[in-house]
């Protein structure tokens, strides 16, 4: 089974999460979503929300980053999906995807539920 890790290499939690997966023999495909060429679309973010268990975008957003940009972290789901697609630093990380399931790596050990 293919694993995809949504990651930001500048993030220590992402690096630690990748190391944990590698310790378990998993070499996921890395999606560096902060790179302009790898950013997530609104549709992809909606799909990730479903894979996380039909959660709201608020459940995998970074409210402090949203507030720092002068936006309301309690905006509507549609507004937040659009904001996350336009500004990837609003997305919580890392997220491990396996097929139709995903886990937010907070703490990183949560990703092990997909192994």
Catalogue the active-site residues: 11
**Which CA distances in Å does 106 have to 15, 76, 93?**
13, 23, 8
Give the chain's length: 115
For 43, the 3-state DSSP assignment is: helix
Cβ atoms of residues 66 and 90 within 8 Å? yes
Pairwise CA distance, residues 29 & 60, whole Å: 20
């Amino acid at each position: 089974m293919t694993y995809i890790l949504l990651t930001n290499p500048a993030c220590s939690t992402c690096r630690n999460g990748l190391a944990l997966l590698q310790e378990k023999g998993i070499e996921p495909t890395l999606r560096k979503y902060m790179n302009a060429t790898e950013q997530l679309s609104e549709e992809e973010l909606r799909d990730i929300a479903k894979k996380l268990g039909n959660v709201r975008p608020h459940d995998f957003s970074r409210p402090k980053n949203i507030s720092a940009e002068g936006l309301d972290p309690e905006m509507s789901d549609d507004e937040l999906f659009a904001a996350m697609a336009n500004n990837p630093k609003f997305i919580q990380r890392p997220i491990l995807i396996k097929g139709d399931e995903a886990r937010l790596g907070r703490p990183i050990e949560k990703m092990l539920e997909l192994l």
